[in-house]
Structure 1
Amino acid sequence: MKKNHETSAGRRTFLKAAAGFMGATLFGGLPFRAFAQTAALKPADRCFVFVYFNGGWDQLLALDPRDPAIFTPERVAETRILPGYDLINDSRFIERPFVPKTRPGAARSNITFGPAMSERLANHYDLMTVVRGVNMTTLAHEEGMRYFITGKRPIGAAARGSSTATEIVGQMVPTQPIPSIAYNVESYNEGYPGSANALKVSKLNDLLLTLSASTTVLDSELEKQLVDFRGQPITCEQAVYGAGGVGETYATSRGQMQQVLSGKLNEKFTFEKNTAVLGKYGLSPQGYTKNGDFDNPAGRAALVATALKEGISQCVSINLVGGLDTHFGSQLTHASNLRSGFEALGMLVDDLRASPHPSGGNFMDHTTILVYSEFARTPYINSTNGRDHHQANSCLLMGAGLKHNKVFGYTGDIAMAPALVDLKTGMADPNNGTNILPEHIIATVLASAGLDYSVTRVDPLKALLA
């Protein structure tokens, strides 16, 4: 096929976006004409954020700490637990768990945090529930990650079911132009139309590239025909495309992308021009990378807030921080990486809590946040001064539809094993109790918004529902 050297602003972007969103009606299931007639973006009445800490976090340092005066090195053979807070050896980290200061007008915190927790985030304890003792039933990174994303135990390493964000968008059919964004996180769709698909990007510049016009020259006659296709086949070749629905889908995608581009949504994410965002998230106009991508935890948190507050998305799934798979001599490295993620998350909650929502209250009144990792680290320290993979996990739930200032479930005082609990109360029940599993967490998130959670095949943790 011969090369076509005609230039056409935005065509490459249209093709790229069409391929990314290809499905039925693309933007939240809203027909294009209705979307085109929408004069202003409107934030979703209910928003969701899924925050992934990549690598398997040390829960002793954050959500499930232990008192080092009780779990001493002398007792480690008995308890199989060594907090090791003194091994961090950095003045930024205290050597004991802490309870955050009481917020004005709120009850005292019922949650104790480990020394790597950000004080900024801990100060929002009155919006939190910590779930401890979640049994991941796996020590493999991919399986644990996919288990928490879908709430279904993978088959081997293969994910089953849809991502929770896909379930939400598929059930709620929001009107936001990009209902779901998955930032460096896997996303799955089983059974929903293409309108429920997430826009998958690996960094902020990918999102800007998708939402920005392009002047790149088309280098394929086939691409030109797909872009210019109008639903009336002219040649036999075009008739083949039309018969399979490809041309029609591209035509729909092109029109919808024209509307997105005309709205200049990319400008919402060019933070170097937004002094308010730079100030809230401690970002410099040049960004923290050579290409100005703001590809750091604070920049990613700013992306989440922008997508929700500007009415661009209903759900954002984001890999907020990594570097946690630390098996070797790494107490300070792990603690520092955890702290950077929690600090950025604290900035996000600060922002959402301080921002009025058009439906009343603030954005945290309308936002549910799930914070998770694929598993935890062993409570004892290995021979190389690091921690290995551990099944008993913790997670953090925040915001709308949930009870707050609460701890549910626990791990045992020997090797931090996942405890059997009464799922109605979260209290110990060694004879008739049940392990807390990721599907219980996902069912709870769905139920918190009144959505159908039957896909999880378990009941939600009703004690956590507001």
Structure 2
Amino acid sequence: MASSRRTFLKGLGLGVGAMMLAPWRAMPLFAAGNAVNRRYIFCYMDGGWDQLLALDPRDPATYTKSTHNIEPAYDLLPAAYPRTVLQPSGSNITFGPAIGNLQSHADKMCVVRGVQMGTLTHEVGRRYFLTGKVPRGLTAAGSSIPAHIVDQHGALGYPLPNLVVQAETYNEDLHVYASGLALNGVGDLLAVLRDGPDAPDAKMRAILAEYRKRTSCDPGRLDPDGTGVFAAVKQSADDAEKLMDADLDKHFDFGGGATQEILDLRQRYGITDAQPNSGAAQLALAFQAIRLKVAQCVTVTLANGLDTHEGTWRTLQPQLLRDAFNALSVLIDDLANTADPDQPQKKLLETTNVVVFSEFARTPMLNNRGGRDHHLANSALFFGPDVPHNRVIGATSDSGMDALKIDPDTGAPRTDGVFVTPTLLFTSLMTNANYKIDKLRVNDTLPCLRPT
């Protein structure tokens, strides 16, 4: 169902009602504990990505179907794609032929290989990565990682702290304000940010503002038990009013806006009227939401249609991957060149973590239809301040590309080590920014994922 300004306000009312009726837990107005004020962009690649084409390549001159149970098949790709493994100058990371422009950012990224998914079911793998917990059957277990982050930060000036575009979001036991605002596309966000047909005019707004000012009271005087419920309600109302009055829609009008800002965004991200909700458009939304402090966490669907079991694998899979990686390269450029609004001496890439993932990988050998099926050994890609840079952690085997156990301190393969899982990736990422991880019910982390 499409979002609107009215449904957003109704949702706010329901949230406040839930706070009043449910067993109350005070809403933190500042970051809990020593958590760092980070921002996050989560990029989901829908369908299962081919890691031979992307983050875990193999040289076709060495690795073959007959010798290693690995079939790179780079020679079957359209002529525009390289036929071998890519490794830019100065990079410690190798890439497959579909990496596109993203390879230029090897010095800023951390690639994790051999992520053990334990499932070949789309829903299970997707929800495992979204929540950091193994699902209960097909049902997500626990809350989405962005909800955990927002829940611990509390009210830090983000009017829509958890934006989710064309992806699933969960809140099992966290504060209402941590819930993701689910959007079907960029247009839904515009509907939330713009005045609807029944919105009061400027004169009426001024009257209402004066009334609120005259009838306002100190919420602390209504809160003798110290729970903070009335302060939280007032904070929610104030945040909603600021959102409605901020005139933010002009920064997200990628289809109809004519400002130089919008024209530049359209050109950089390749946004077209024919594909207004493409992965590139969603990344532009994420960049604007982070830059303008609309949201602390943004989840986008960067690619769709990667489930290539048929012969279309040879054309569709590399095209979708390259388009996604090229758009991601633009986002990384923008984050690296834009000052953080709270810390102008730093760039956004120094305060924003970017996580790129899919529900699983694809088999190292082609099936009898010329495509690739689901494969357990996955990869993940990270940028930002809380991971090491220009580094590969983990590996897959040289025969059949199975996930290998690693030394948690070094990230190198070790037979008596541990498997890398989505849970360990997120407990590590959150711990590196001093977030609590108790709700993930795992205390272990990967020291090798700490920034160096």
The 1:294/1:20 distance shift into structure 2, 3 A limit, reads farther
**Is there any run of 5+ residues in structure 2 with no aligned partner, and where?**
19-25, 31-35, 200-211, 213-231
The answer to whether the 8 A contact 2:83-2:97 is kept is yes
Question: Which region of structure 1 is more displaced relative to structure 2, 144-153 or 419-428?
Answer: 419-428
Q: One-letter code of the match for 1:441?
A: L
Q: Which residue, 434, 440, 446 being the options, matches 2:418? A: 434
Tell me, in whole angstroms, the C-alpha distance in 2 between the residues paired with 1:29 and 1:214.
Answer: 30
Aligned to 1:3: none
Aligned to 1:305: 287
**Is there any run of 5+ residues in structure 1 with no aligned partner, and where?**
1-11, 35-43, 102-107, 218-229, 231-248
Q: Which residue, 247, 251, 273 being the options, matches 1:264? A: 247
The 1:441/1:25 distance shift into structure 2, 3 A limit, reads farther
The 1:112/1:179 distance shift into structure 2, 3 A limit, reads same
Matched, 1:99 2:80: no
Tell me, in whole angstroms, the C-alpha distance in 2 between the residues paired with 1:421 and 1:364.
Answer: 28
Give the 3-state SS of the residue equivalent to 2:320 in structure 1: helix
Deviations 1:93-122 (A, max 9, x none): 101111123xxxxxx210001110022x22
The answer to whether the 8 A contact 2:143-2:172 is kept is yes
Once the two structures are TM-superposed, the CA of residue 373 in structure 1 deviates from its matched residue by 0.3
The answer to whether the 8 A contact 2:16-2:233 is kept is no
Once the two structures are TM-superposed, the CA of residue 175 in structure 1 deviates from its matched residue by 2.1
The TM-score, its normalising length taken from structure 1, stands at: 0.80
Hey, which bits of structure 1, 4+ residues long, moved more than 4 A? 28-31, 249-256
Aligned to 1:118: 100
Q: Which residue, 345, 357, 361 being the options, matches 1:376? A: 361
Matched, 1:133 2:122: no
Once the two structures are TM-superposed, the CA of residue 212 in structure 1 deviates from its matched residue by 1.2
Matched, 1:337 2:325: no
Once the two structures are TM-superposed, the CA of residue 387 in structure 1 deviates from its matched residue by 0.2
The answer to whether the 8 A contact 1:21-1:195 is kept is no
Tell me, in whole angstroms, the C-alpha distance in 2 between the residues paired with 1:351 and 1:171.
Answer: 27
Deviations 1:37-82 (A, max 9, x none): xxxxxxx94211111011100000000000011013xxx1342110
The 1:22/1:265 distance shift into structure 2, 3 A limit, reads farther
Aligned to 1:87: 76
Aligned to 2:61: 69
Residues 218-297 of structure 1 aligned to structure 2 (within 5 Å): 256-271=239-254, 272-282=257-267, 288-289=272-273, 294-297=276-279
Deviations 1:319-357 (A, max 9, x none): 111110011002111000001111111100000101122
Once the two structures are TM-superposed, the CA of residue 24 in structure 1 deviates from its matched residue by 4.0
Matched, 1:386 2:371: yes
The 1:299/1:21 distance shift into structure 2, 3 A limit, reads farther
Q: One-letter code of the match for 2:52?
A: L
Aligned to 1:425: 410
The answer to whether the 8 A contact 1:301-1:348 is kept is yes
Residues 378-417 of structure 1 aligned to structure 2 (within 5 Å): 378-417=363-402
The 1:345/1:257 distance shift into structure 2, 3 A limit, reads same
Once the two structures are TM-superposed, the CA of residue 279 in structure 1 deviates from its matched residue by 2.5
Matched, 1:17 2:12: no
Aligned to 1:367: 352
Once the two structures are TM-superposed, the CA of residue 192 in structure 1 deviates from its matched residue by 1.2
Aligned to 2:438: 454
The answer to whether the 8 A contact 1:18-1:250 is kept is no
Aligned to 1:58: 50
Tell me, in whole angstroms, the C-alpha distance in 2 between the residues paired with 1:210 and 1:54.
Answer: 26
Deviations 1:405-450 (A, max 9, x none): 11011000111001122222222222x2221111011112211211
Q: One-letter code of the match for 1:167?
A: H
Tell me, in whole angstroms, the C-alpha distance in 1 between the residues paired with 2:59 and 2:66.
Answer: 16
Aligned to 1:197: 179
Tell me, in whole angstroms, the C-alpha distance in 2 between the residues paired with 1:29 and 1:22.
Answer: 16
Deviations 1:307-328 (A, max 9, x none): 0001111111111111100110
Root mean square deviation of aligned Cα: 2.7
Give the 3-state SS of the residue equivalent to 2:15 in structure 1: coil
Question: Which region of structure 1 is more displaced relative to structure 2, 315-324 or 249-258?
Answer: 249-258
Give the 3-state SS of the residue equivalent to 1:23 in structure 2: helix
The 1:264/1:463 distance shift into structure 2, 3 A limit, reads same
The 1:133/1:89 distance shift into structure 2, 3 A limit, reads same
Aligned to 1:5: none
Question: Which region of structure 1 is more displaced relative to structure 2, 364-373 or 77-86?
Answer: 77-86
Alignment: residue pair count? 399
Once the two structures are TM-superposed, the CA of residue 284 in structure 1 deviates from its matched residue by 9.2
Aligned to 1:165: 146
The TM-score, its normalising length taken from structure 2, stands at: 0.82
